Structure 1
Amino acid sequence: MVRTGRSPAGRRLATALTCLLGLLLAGCPSAHRDGFRPGAADAGDPYVPGHGNGGYDVTHYGLDVRYDPSTDRLSGRAVITATATQDLSRFNLDLVGLDVSAVRLGDARADHRRDDDELVVTPRDGLPRGRQFTVTVDYAGVPTAVADGTLGSGGFLHTADGAVALGQPDSAATWFPVNDHPSDKASYDLAVTVPDGLAALSNGVPGPKSSADGWTTWHWSERTPMASYLTTLVIGDYRVETSTHAGRPMVTAVAASLPPAGGAASSLARTGAIADFLASRFGPYPFDSYGGIVIADDRVGYALETQSRPVYGPAFFADDRPNPSVVAHELAHQWFGDSVSVGRWSDIWLNEGFASYAEWLWAEHDGGPTAERTFELQYAATDWSQPSVEPGRERMFGAAVYKRGALAVHALRRTVGDDTFFRILRTWTTERATGNASTGDLVALAERVSGRPLRPLFDAWLVGASAPTLP
């Protein structure tokens, strides 16, 4: 029924009242969407164009996946809890290759479409800034690797007995929908179902396992916020050992095809001791579990600091030699890179410079050369034309990031003295724990703790084009 006898002013008042009521009930589409806009389809990091998204902040991923190595098919459900950081009309998630069958926002179906490696989700009504929401994505398909060109093979790699999912700066989007940039860290719960007899290893604290109809479900929980590239999934035939260290679970695993008492196993066996030593220098270990995984896939020519449980490629234990140095490097990342993460990849030296320096500290502690001697040798061998900060995408994993970065760390130590130096490190890992930081943040903190100007020192050792004067 339509009434025609109301005055224009009366109609305007009625419309306003109707829209006000609609806003209260989230049912006035035009008013609800006024001023709402799409979230960015990119985190704005030039080192990883197209990765990450804007307009929301994820707090938790609940992942339930099933993988069959015989068909290389993965199916999953991701339940993602987030908060809108702007008035959102739609938002994106990163997802490479996999097919999406349904998306729900809360209990309601949401429109969705694919735009290359983006999943675009459009709620029925806009999401106001500050609104917490849950999006559920059902997806399936054959996961793919990523051709990075800097670090090496990564993403979801099918193996002879299962799969390995890892990589830097990206990998997560090859096996679940995600805001794939370290600036948006979140906690994780993972349930992964695989054929009986295979291990399914991931980050965090192990949960109960259950078996039915020839399949076993493994559970993992990482409650401390984690950058997406630090997630991992390792499936296959592994010798898994679970113990307790410092009151926390320790889970280590070595591919069954590697020697049971060889260099890989003996190196992982030192995880607890190395972590304790680093804690004496950097402050308390930042996570609820320890561990490490050694894989046998030669395509992975690197080790990666996947949170709480680093993954090591087989080349680090060639000829069955122990290599505690790489364990020290990846465990140091638990403080520098995992707990305190970069906000932009141009600051990656904050991860790699400190982890490389941890190798020097461990070598000295373990009877090798002193950190001072290693500093002297590296200083003489360094190409000072390459900067540690803003190294460029192709040099993200270059010597300037790792070795020159470590030189800058030791130069700071020589300048301020041991007591102040280690107080700076422990203050950094405490005040910045679970968050993100930049080089500027480190300089400001070091100046505050030391009580002296340090910007010229950092500039000379990180970005200067010639060998800096020894402090």
Structure 2
Amino acid sequence: MMRLFAATAAALLLLSACEKSDEAPRVTEKETTEAPRIAPVLTTADAVDPHSFAKPLEARVYHVALDLSVDFDAKRVSGTATLDIDRKPDAKEIVLDDKGLEIQSITDGEKPLQYKVGAVDENLGTPLAVALNPDTKKLVITYKSAPDAQALQWLSPAQTAGKQHPYLFSQGEAIYNRSWIPTQDSPGIRQSWEAKIHVPAPLTAVMSAPRAAEPLTQGGETIFSFNMDKPVAPYLIAIAVGDLKFRSLGPRTGVWTEPSMLDAAAAELADTEKMVDAAEKLFGPYRWGRYDMLVLPPSFPLGGMENPTLTFLTPTFIAGDKSLVSLIAHELAHSWSGNLATNATWADFWLNEGTTTYAERRIVESLYGPKVAAQQVALGVDALNKTVAENGGSKGADTRLHIDLKGRHPDAGLSDIAYEKGSAFLRTVESIVGRDKFDAYMRGWFDRHAFQPVTSAMFLADMREHLVKGDKALEARLQLDNWVYKPGIPSNLVKPDPQAFAEVDKAVAAFAAGKPLDTALWARWTTDERLRFLNKLPRKLPKARLDTLEQGLKLNDIRNSEVRFAWLDLAIGNRYDPAIPSVEQFVTSQGRGKFVRPLLSALFEDEVWGRPKAIAIYAKARPMYHPSVTGRIDKLGLGAPAANKN
């Protein structure tokens, strides 16, 4: 999942020709990459998942087979989930995760099984306990998702680019998939899966798995079949249904999106095949077959979601000049860090995101050069320092990499600590041991833990075994435990290159001192340089200086979403009224949580000037937002209670 910094200017990007094809990738034979039939379940104390009701050491799901119909009128998916289970011989029950599912029956394929839905937990949903017979090895669950299932967003035709057909997409991370799939929804319980999806013709279904057969249309519906033969974390099962077309970008890459968006999406993603090649040179073979992407409608709540074989992407990365494509490097890197070796619980979310952020910048450096990577590192450290300050400073408990989330929703750990402190940790280790040695270590880490859940303790033990190798002096220099288990930023942090933004920082100082705005500099700066300029300006500026910025740079209308967000954040902090129409247009035209939550929150926190504006704007914007976004904004108190129902 992406919390992204911009990539680079178009002039620095490599050119790549797209293969022009509107045909979906053909069904191919299974990949030969070996993966365990049943991935291990960890028995260490730090692998106990407080965000799942499952008891996997008693009985666990290892394969899910879905046969579901998509009903746009009722806003439900319904059908069966057949679960293959592994169990102790004396296990009396298996416990699944459930949030709002309407269970109609559960059998072992022949005989009914007794089941009980437990008490509701606000964050986790409910346990679904199914009694097992001595010979039970399979559960067949007939069910419906609720119309307000948290993982699913149903869009009317008017909310799509084409305006002709409805659209459905899912967002499962962290614990939302339990609202549409009855299974053990824990990242430590990896499961292979397959699906048959029935959708109204002429719509197309895509999922985070290869197609298992050609689509079959009959009786007004089309049936799409998928098969993921590798065990994955359950949150990585994803679906989208809509008016979708495909275009190839290379031998193993391509993009799906609505027809009217296909040209722009393909042009922006032209370098994807080269990114895959670069990532393989760094981290070892790509083990998932194809790497395709789906560019979703603007309401998608994230920058990107690394669903295997089919990354889901926000359209806000389409800037027209490829300047935000580090998003693709990030989501691609998850094919190793996150999808291949996955945090066993959300307490170690940094193992997914910090490792991926580090890998993202290595891919960017490989393709676009060390200056671009150095600037992104500097932006990352800026974000890290800001987040540490906002979370209690050097003693704040939530500034640790291994974070305590008991009693809280996993989304509470979704901050730049996981991304930027994790990345800074690996970059620091690299600087101490040397890049060649560290690259060899990381390739080995992914090989040793392919298709497995992992914990912070496992990572540190593996690093000590394969990198430190008993060298006490090296151990002391690395400060491994300080990085992972202690709050704040360790003293051995490798600082970013002070020259990375030398010209920009000089311009910031000049503008802050009251000198004229240099629009010529701005015109030739990359997105990263523009972000640095806006983010480094004094947080309090008089209206006249804000007028100079807006009028000189046309910031209220700028197309680049990252730059516009940085400007609007500054404007709201200064009660700058001329920016309010831009704020309203921005947050009502896309639903990316990274953008809409901070802007609406900042408005709402200003009780006199901003709060009435926030309430009025949110009332207009809320219908297009995904439940994972509205759930967090609603808790601020925005909107009337009646409008806060999902």
Which interval holds the TM-score relative to the shorter structure?
Answer: 0.7 to 0.9
Instruction: Give the corresponding residue for 2:492.
Output: 469
Q: Is residue 430 from structure 1 mapped to residue 447 from structure 2 by the alignment?
A: yes
User: Which residue identity lines up with residue 479 of structure 2 in the other structure?
Assistant: L
Question: Shift of residue 227 of structure 1?
Answer: 0.6
Post-superposition Cα deviations, 1:382-433, rounded to whole Å, max 9, x if no partner, equal: 3353222216445422111101111111111111111210111111110100
User: Paired residue for 1:390, among 403, 416, 419?
Assistant: 403
Deviation at 1:209, TM superposition (A): 0.9
Q: Cα gap change, 1:182/1:139 in structure 2, threshold over 3 Å: closer, same or farther?
A: same
1:169 aligns with 2:186: no
Question: Which residue does the alignment assign to 1:224?
Answer: 230
Structure 2 distance, partners of 1:442, 1:206, is 34
Of 39, 56, 61, 1:58 maps to 61
The CA deviation at 1:321 is 5.3
- Within 5 A, what are the aligned runs for 1:395-434? 395-434=412-451
1:135-146 to 2 correspondence within 5 Å? 135-146=139-150
Q: Is the 8 A contact 2:59 2:93 kept in 1?
A: no
Residues 349 and 402 in structure 1, CA contact (< 8 A), matched pair in contact too: yes
Q: Secondary structure at the match of 1:296?
A: coil
- The answer to whether the 8 Å contact 1:354/1:405 transfers is yes
Q: 1:270: which partner in 2?
A: 271
What secondary structure, in the 3-state scheme, does the structure 1 residue paired with 2:368 have? coil
The alignment status of 1:94 with 2:103, answered yes or no, reads: no
Who is 1:157 aligned against?
Answer: 153
Equivalent runs, 1:106-145 vs 2, <5 Å: 106-115=109-118, 116=120, 117-123=126-132, 125-126=133-134, 133-145=137-149
Distance 1:417 1:373, change over 3 A: farther
Amino acid at match of 1:232: A
Partner in structure 1 of residue 245 of structure 2: 239
Residue identity in the other structure for 2:282 = R
Which whole-Å deviations, capped at 9, do the CAs of 1:255-290 have from their partners, x for residues lacking one?
Answer: 335x3321x333444332212211110111121332
The CA distance in 1 between the partners of 2:308 and 2:262, in whole Å, is 25
* Aligned-pair CA distance for 1:194: 0.2
Look up the SS of the partner of 1:194 in the other structure. Answer: strand
Maintained 8 Å contact 1:298/1:315: no
Q: How many angstroms apart in 1 are the aligned matches of 2:77 and 2:489?
A: 51
CA distance in 1, matches of 2:321, 2:88: 50
Paired position in structure 1 for 2:83: 80
Please report the RMSD computed on the Cα atoms of aligned residues, expressed in angstroms: 2.5
Matched residues in 2 for 1:436 and 1:200: separation? Answer: 29
Name the SS of the counterpart of 1:366 in structure 2.
Answer: helix
- For residue 196 of structure 1, the aligned residue among 180, 190, 201 is 201
CA contact (8 A) 1:298 1:314 kept: no
Deviation at 1:352, TM superposition (A): 0.5
Which structure would you say has the larger RCO, counting Cα contacts within 8 Å and 6 or more residues apart?
Answer: 2
Residues 209 and 316 of structure 1: is their aligned pair in 2 closer, same or farther, counting only changes over 3 Å?
same
Per the alignment, residue 26 of structure 2 pairs with: none
When you count helix as a share of all residues, which structure comes out higher? 2
What is the TM-score of this pair, normalised by structure 2? 0.59
Written as runs of structure 1 = structure 2, the 5 A alignment for 1:291-440 is 291-317=292-318, 323-368=324-369, 369=371, 371=373, 374-375=376-377, 378-379=380-381, 382-383=384-385, 385=394, 386-390=399-403, 392=405, 393=410, 395-440=412-457
Find the aligned partners of 2:146 and 2:276 in 1 and give their Cα distance: 37
Q: 1:112 to 1:464 in 2, by over 3 A?
A: closer
| DSSP 3-state at the match of 2:491 | coil
Determine which structure has the larger strand proportion and give its number: 1
- Structure 1, unmatched stretches of 5+, are 1-42, 147-154
Question: Structure 1's 322 and 239: CA in aligned 2 closer, same or farther, altered over 3 A?
Answer: farther
| Number of aligned positions between the proteins | 409
Question: Aligned in 2, Cα 1:186/1:405: closer, same or farther, shift over 3 Å?
Answer: same
Q: Distance in 2 between matches of 1:167 and 1:318?
A: 27
Query: Which residue type is aligned with residue 324 of structure 1?
Result: V
Alignment of 1:14-93 (within 5 A): 44-46=48-50, 48=51, 50-54=52-56, 55-85=58-88, 87-93=90-96
SS at match of 1:62: strand
Instruction: Please name the residue that 2:639 is paired with.
Output: none
Inter-partner Cα distance in structure 2 for 1:320 and 1:374: 18
Contact 2:342/2:453 (8 A) holds in 1: yes
Contact 1:295 1:312 in 2 (8 A): yes
Give the Cα separation in 2 of the matches to 1:75 and 1:201.
17
Over 3 Å counting, the alpha-carbon distance change for 1:221 and 1:425 in structure 2 is same
Q: What secondary structure does 2:228 align onto?
A: strand
Q: Is the 8 A contact 1:143 1:175 kept in 2?
A: no
**Share of identical aligned residues, percent?**
24
